[in-house]
């Protein structure tokens, strides 16, 4: 029995069985598909089913990132135009962060801190981090300004200064 499929003849399927292999020559046309192949075909086996509102909720992360970028660009533009003072921006940002943290802790009732971390380790880490920030933002500039008086060779901001005196009285 011979059937015409396209332009190539198809051999009797009783004599030669179609195999799902690409590297062997078979007496079937290239576009031939056996009924067994279609019966065994499985589509979207590992596809996850999502709930609509869960996807909408998760898309808020992308929206939040886009809004953050837009706010950053607008703030940068306002500062570049002289419409926004950096001191006002810093103060407003600091106050907003502190108010947000306090409100979150009041709404949460402290459950997040109790479940996710040990208070003693968190307190020690917070104190060490605050000391690090204080030393970087206050002590380092203080010593830099105090040591400026003892520089001998200043050619530019990229050069290091050579200090010729004993500095132990400043560091104690």
Residue 5 phi, psi (nearest 5): -125, 115
Give 113's contacts (C-beta < 8 A, 6+ positions apart).
105, 119, 122
Instruction: For residue 54, tell me if it sits in a domain.
Output: no
- In-domain check, residue 52: no
Helix axes 86-108, 52-81, angle to 10 degrees: 150
Residue 9 pairs in a beta bridge with: 4
Contact 16, 26 (CB under 8 A): yes
Q: Say if 89 falls within a structural domain.
A: no
Could you identify the residue written with the tokens 């001998």?
A: 152
**Which residue range forms the structural domain that includes residue 168?**
117-172
90 in any annotated domain: no
Distance CA 58, CA 108 (A): 21
Residue 2 has pLDDT above 90, yes or no: no
Say how many domains are in the chain. 2
Report yes or no on 111 lying in a domain: no
Is 20 part of any domain?
yes
Asked if 161 and 152 touch (Cβ cutoff 8 Å), the reply is yes
Please report whether residue 15 resides in a domain: yes
Assess whether pLDDT exceeds 60 at residue 18: yes
Q: Give tens-digit pLDDT for 72-125.
A: 999 999 999 999 999 999 999 999 999 998 898 888 877 776 776 655 567 788
pTM of the predicted model, to two decimals?
Answer: 0.40
Cβ(29)–Cβ(10) below 8 Å: yes
Q: What are 22-63's pLDDT values in tens digits?
A: 788 888 887 888 888 888 888 888 888 889 999 999 999 999
The neighbour count for residue 28, using CB atoms within 10 Å, is 19
Residue 137 lies in a domain: yes
Q: Residue with structure tokens 């962060």?
A: 97
């Amino acid at each position: 029995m011979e059937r015409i499929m396209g332009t190539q003849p198809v051999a009797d399927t009783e004599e030669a069985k179609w195999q799902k292999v690409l590297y062997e020559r078979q007496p079937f046309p290239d576009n031939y598909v056996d009924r067994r192949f279609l019966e065994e075909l499985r589509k979207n086996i590992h596809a996850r089913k999502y709930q609509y509102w869960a996807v909408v909720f998760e898309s808020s992360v992308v929206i939040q990132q886009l809004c953050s970028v837009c706010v950053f660009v607008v703030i940068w533009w306002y500062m570049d135009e002289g419409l926004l003072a950096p001191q006002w921006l810093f103060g407003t940002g600091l106050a907003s962060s502190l108010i947000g943290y306090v409100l979150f802790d009041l709404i949460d009732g402290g459950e997040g801190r109790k479940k996710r971390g040990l208070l003693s380790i968190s307190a020690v880490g917070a104190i060490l981090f605050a000391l690090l920030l204080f030393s970087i933002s206050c002590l380092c500039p203080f010593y830099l300004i105090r040591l400026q008086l003892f520089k001998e060779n200043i050619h530019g901001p990229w050069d290091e200064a050579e200090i010729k005196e004993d500095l132990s009285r400043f560091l104690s």
